[in-house]
Amino acid sequence: MRKTMTSMLAGIGLVLACGTSVYAQDKELTIFWAEWDPANYLQELVNLYEAETGVKVTVETTPWSDFQTKAFTEFNAKGSAYDMVVGDSQWIGAASEAGHYVDLTDFFNKHNLKEVMAPATVKYYAEYPSDSGKYWSIPAEGDAVGWSYRKDWFEDPKEKEAFKAKYGYDLDVPKDFKALRDIAEFFHRPDEKRYGVAIYTDNSYDALVMGVENAIFSFGGELGDYANYKVDGIINSEQNVKALEAYKELYSFTPPGWAKSFFIEDNQAITENLAAMSMNYFAFFPALINEASNPNAKATGFFANPPGPNGDQFAALGGQGISVISYSQNQEEAMKFLEWFIKEDTQKKWAELGGYTASAKVLESPEFQNATPYNKAFYETMFKVKDFWATPEYAELLIQMNQRVYPYITGNQGTAKEVLDSLAADWNATFKKYNRVK
Amino acid sequence: MAHIQLKNISKTFGNHTALTGLNLDIGDGEFFVLLGETGAGKTTTLRMIAGLEKPTEGQVFIDGVDVANWGAAERDVALVLQQYSLYPRYTVRQNLEFPLKPKIRRLPDAEIKDRVDRAARTLRIEHLLDRKTDRLSGGEMQRVSIGRAIVRKPRVFLMDEPLSALDAKLREALRTELKNLQMQLGATFLFVTHDQIEAMSMGDKVGVLNHGRIVQTGTPYEIYNNPRDTYVASFVGSPPMNLIDGKLVNGRAVMAPLNFELPFEGRAKTSGATDGRPLVFGIRPEDVYLESGAPVEARVHDVENHGVEKILTLRVGDAMLRATVPARTDVEIEQPVRFAWDPDKVVLFDKGSGINLRHAG
Amino acid sequence: MATAVMTTLDPNSRSAARGMSDLTIRNLFIIPTIVFLIVFNIFPLIYSLGYSFTDFRASSPAAANFVGLQNYRELLNDPFIWSNFAITAKYVIVSVVGQVIVGFGVALLLNRDIPLKGLLTTLLLLPMMLSMAVVGLFWKLLYDPSFGIINYTLGLGSFEWLSNPDMALYAVAITDIWMWSPFVMLLSLAGLSAVPKHLYEAAAIDRAGSFYTFFRITLPLVAPILMIAVIFRTMEAFKTFDLAYILTSQPTTEVISIRLYKMAFQEWQTGRSCALAYIVLIMILAITNIYVKYLNKVKER
Amino acid sequence: MAAVTTSTERSLNKLAIVGVLIITMIFLAPIYWIASTAFKPRNLATTIPPTVVFQPEISPFVKLFTKRSQLRTAPTPEQYAAAPWWERLVFDGGEKVVRSGRGEVQWSGYPSRFMNSLIVAITSTVLAVGMGTFTAYGFSRFKVKGEQDLLFFILSTRMLPPVVVAIPMFLMYRVVGLNDTHWGLIILYTAFNLSFSVWLMKGFMDEIPKEYEEAALVDGYTRMEAFFKIVLPEAATGIAATAVFCFITAWNEYAFALIMTNRRAQTAPPFIPSQVGSGLPDWTVIAAGTFLFLLPVAIFTFLLRNHLLRGMSFGAIRK
Amino acid sequence: MTQIELRGVQKYFGAVQVIKDLNLKIDDNEFIVLLGQSGCGKTTTLRAIAGLETIDGGDILIDGKPVQHLKAADRDIAMVFQSFSLYPHMSVYENIAFPLRATRKSKAEIDQEVRSVAKTLQISDLLAKKPSALSGGDMQRVAIGRALVRRPKAMLMDEPIGALDAKLREEMRAEIKRLHIKQGSTTIYVTHDQIEAMSLADRIVIMHEGVLQQVGSPDEVYSRPANLFVAQFVGSPVMNVADAAVAEKASSASVTVGGAATGFEFPGALLSKLNGHASDKLALGIRPEGVIVRREAADGFLPVEAQIVEPLGSFDIVDLKVGSQMLRARTKSGFISGPGVKVFARIDPAQTHFFDKASGKSLGVRL
Do E340 and E251 fall within a single domain?
A: yes
Residue from A161, A157, A178 nearest A307 by CA: A178
Q: How far is E42 from chain D (nearest CA, A)?
A: 15
- Specify the pLDDT at position D68: 83
Residues paired with residue C78 on neighbouring β-strands, in sequence order: none
Identify whether the C-beta of residue B296 lies closer than 8 Å to the C-beta of residue B340: yes
Q: Which of D212, D217, D234 sits opposite B73 (nearest CB)?
A: D217
Instruction: Round to whole Å and give the CA distance between B144 and B93.
Output: 9
Residues A152 and A213 in one domain: yes
Partner residue opposite D218 with nearest CB, options B50, B84, B89: B50
- Average of pLDDT values for A174-185? 94
Partner-chain residue, chosen from D1, D2, D4, that has the shortest CB–CB distance to E72: D4
Q: Give the best-scoring range by mean pLDDT among A37-41, B184-188, C146-150, E289-293.
A: E289-293
Burial class (CB in 10 A: 0-12, 13-18, 19+), B342: middle
- Contact A51/D at CB under 8 A: yes
**What are the phi and psi torsion angles at D107 (to 5°)?**
-75, 150
Examine the domain organization and report whether A159 and A295 are in the same domain: yes
The pLDDT of residue D95: 84
Q: CATH number of the domain that E90 lies in?
A: 3.40.50.300
Q: Is E35 exposed, middle or buried (0-12, 13-18, 19+ CB in 10 A)?
A: buried
Decide: B301 and B314 in contact? Cβ < 8 Å: yes
CATH code of residue E341:
2.40.50.140
Mean pLDDT of E294-309: 89
Q: How many CB atoms lie within 10 A of CB B1?
A: 19
Is the domain of E11 the same as that of E48? yes
Which distant-in-sequence residues (6+ apart) come within 8 Å of A1 by Cβ? none
Q: Which amino acid is at C223?
A: A
Confidence of residue A253 (pLDDT cuts 50, 70, 90): very high
How many whole angstroms separate alpha carbon A358 and alpha carbon A113? Answer: 10
Please give the pLDDT value at position D182.
Answer: 93
C-alpha E124/C-alpha A317 separation (Å) is: 85
Q: What is the average pLDDT score of chain B?
A: 88
Structural domains counted in chain A: 2
pLDDT of B326-356, one tens digit each? 888 888 888 999 999 988 888 999 999 999 9
In angstroms, the first-to-last Cα distance of chain E is: 41
User: Does the distance separating the beta carbons of E193 and B200 come in below 8 Å?
Assistant: no
Predicted local confidence at residue A245, as pLDDT: 95
Q: Please tell me whether residues E308 and E207 are part of one structural domain.
A: no
Query: Which pLDDT value is given to residue D77?
Result: 87
Is residue A77 predicted with pLDDT exceeding 50? yes
Sequence letter at residue B85: S
What is d(CA B112, CA C119) in angstroms, rounded to the nearest whole number?
Answer: 45
Question: Angle B18-B22-B26 (CA atoms, 0-180°, nearest 5)?
Answer: 120
Per cent of chain A over pLDDT 90 is: 55
Site from B53, B63, B65, B105 to mutate, C interface, most C CB atoms within 10 angstroms:
B105
For residues E152 and E42, state if they share a domain. Answer: yes
Distances (CA, A) of A53 to A81, A336, D119, D268, E108: 22, 10, 36, 33, 98
Is the distance from CB of E53 to CB of D4 less than 8 angstroms? yes
**Residue D2 Cα to chain centre, angstroms:** 38
How far apart, in Å, do the first and last CA atoms of chain D sit? Answer: 29
Question: What is the identity of the amino acid at E19?
Answer: I
Neighbours of C197 (CB within 10 A): 12
For residue E138, the 8-state DSSP code is H
Nearest CA in chain A to D73: A290
β pairing state of E186-191 and E154-158: parallel
- Do A133 and A237 lie in one domain? The reply is no
Residues A280 and A360 occupy one common structural domain: no
Contacts of D273 in chain C (CB under 8 A): 133-134, 136-137, 246
CA distance D96 to D108: 13
Question: What is the distance in angstroms between the Cα of B227 and the nearest Cα belonging to chain C?
Answer: 33
pLDDT of residue E201: 93
The answer to whether residue E271 sits within a structural domain is yes
CB A177, CB A233: distance < 8 Å: no
d(CA C121, CA C124): 5
pLDDT at E280 over 90: no
Distance of CA A28 to the CA centre of its chain: 28
**Where do the DSSP E strands lie in chain C?**
none
DSSP state of A381: H
For chain E, helix, strand, coil in percent to 5 are 30, 35, 35
Q: How far is CA A351 from CA A144, A224, A347, D198, in A?
A: 15, 33, 6, 57
Residue type, E42: K
CA distance linking residue A10 with residue A127, whole number of Å: 39
Contact D218 B102 (CB under 8 A): no
Residues A355, A356, A357, A358, CA torsion sign: negative
Strands (E) across D227-308 are located at none
> Which residues of B are less than 8 Å from E233 in CB distance?
169
Mean pLDDT score, A350-363: 90
Neighboring chain D residues of C28 at a CB cutoff of 8 Å = 134
pLDDT digits (tens, 9 = 90+) for B159-180: 999 888 777 778 888 888 888 8
Whether D2 has its CB under 8 Å from any CB of chain E: the answer is: yes
* Residue of D98, D183, D274 lying closest to A17 (CB–CB): D183
CB contact under 8 A, D50 and C152: yes
| Alpha carbon distance C127, D26 (integer Å) | 11
Number of Cβ atoms within 10 Å of the Cβ of B326:
11
User: Are E174 and E98 members of one domain?
Assistant: yes
pLDDT tens sequence across B2-31: 899 999 999 998 888 999 999 999 999 999
Q: Does A177 lie in the same domain as A251?
A: yes
CB of D234 within 8 Å of any CB in chain B?
A: yes
- Does pLDDT of B293 surpass 60? yes
Decide if A2 is inside a domain: no
Reported as type and span, the H/E element at residue E232 is helix E228-233
Domains of chain B are: 4-235 (3.40.50.300), 242-350 (2.40.50.140)
Q: Please report, for the domain that includes residue A86, its CATH number.
A: 3.40.190.10
Contact C265 A73 (CB under 8 A): yes
Residue ranges in chain D modelled with pLDDT below 50: 1-3, 315-319
Q: Cα separation of B256 and E39, whole Å?
A: 51
Model pLDDT, residue D150:
81
The third-level CATH classification (topology) of the domain covering D111-313 is: MetI-like fold (1.10.3720)
CA distance A267 to chain D (A): 6
Q: How confident is the model at residue A233 (pLDDT cuts 50, 70, 90)?
A: very high
Quick check: A20 pLDDT over 60?
no
Which pLDDT band, with edges at 50, 70 and 90, does B229 fall under?
A: very high
**Backbone phi and psi for residue A47, each to the nearest 5 degrees, phi listed first:** -60, -35
Q: How far is E134 from chain B (nearest CA, A)?
A: 14
Could you count the other beta carbons within 10 Å of the beta carbon of residue B210?
Answer: 17
Residues E123 and E211 in one domain: yes
With contact defined as beta carbons under 8 Å apart, do D19 and C111 qualify? no
Q: Could you read off the pLDDT of E141-153 as tens digits, one per residue? A: 999 999 989 888 8
User: 1.10.3720.10, 3.40.50.300, 3.40.720.10, 3.90.79.10: which CATH number matches C80-300?
Assistant: 1.10.3720.10
Number of B:C CB contacts under 8 A?
40
A315 strand-pairing partners: A385
> Is C1 an 8 Å CB contact of chain B?
yes
pLDDT at D177: 81
Chain B partners within 8 Å of C19 (Cβ): 71, 73
Q: CB–CB of E79/E186 below 8 Å?
A: no
Distance CA C223, CA C244 (A): 29
B185–C17: do the CB atoms touch at under 8 Å? no
Percent of chain A with pLDDT over 70: 94
Those residues of chain E whose CB sits closer than 8 Å to some CB in chain D are 47, 51-54, 69-72
Strand order in the sheet with E352-356: E264-266, E252-257, E240-249, E282-286, E352-356
SS3 of residue A72 by DSSP: helix
Closest CA to D163 of C38, C74, C274, C284: C274
Cα nearest neighbour of E44 on chain D: D1
Asked whether residue E273 falls in the same domain as residue E222, the answer is: no
Q: Do B200 and E312 count as a contact with CB atoms less than 8 A apart? A: yes
The reported pLDDT for the residue numbered D2 is 43
- Find out whether B316 and B298 touch, Cβ atoms under 8 Å: yes
Asked whether residue A339 carries a pLDDT value surpassing 50, the answer given is yes
First to last CA, chain A: 42
Is there a contact between B78 and D230 if contact means CB atoms under 8 Å apart?
Answer: no
Mean pLDDT in residue range A64-79: 82
* 8 A C-beta contact, residue E95 and residue E86: yes
Integer Cα distance of B305 and B26 in angstroms: 39
| Count of C-D CB contacts under 8 Å | 270
Task: Measure in Å the smallest separation between the Cα of D227 and chain B Cα atoms.
Answer: 13
Nearest to C14 among B74, B155, B186 (CB): B74
Residue scoring higher pLDDT (D219 or B219):
B219
Q: How far apart are alpha carbons B115 and B145 in whole angstroms?
A: 15
Structural domain span for residue A283: 145-316+393-433
| pLDDT value of residue A21 | 37
> For residue E332, what are the contacts with CB-CB under 8 A and spacing of at least 6?
E315, E316
DSSP-derived 3-state class of residue E19: strand
Same domain? A309 vs A325: no
Clarify whether residues A305 and A224 are in a common domain: yes
| Domain locations in chain D as residue ranges | 7-37, 67-97, 111-313
Please give the helix or strand (H or E) that residue C27 lies within, else none: helix C22-37
D214 CB near a chain B CB, below 8 Å?
yes
For residue E94, what are the domain limits? 4-227
Chains with ≥3 CB–CB distances under 8 Å to A = C, D
Residue ranges of chain C whose pLDDT lies below 50? 1-17
Count: domains in chain E: 2
D167, D229, D293: which to substitute to probe chain C, counting the most C Cβ within 10 Å? D167
Q: What is the chain A residue with the closest CA to C147?
A: A272
Whether residues E17 and E131 share a domain: the answer is yes
Confidence of residue A108 (pLDDT cuts 50, 70, 90): very high
A293 CB neighbours in chain D (<8 A) are: 42, 70, 94, 279-280, 282
Mark yes or no for CB contact D6/E54 under 8 Å: no
Q: Is pLDDT at A183 greater than 80 in this prediction?
A: yes
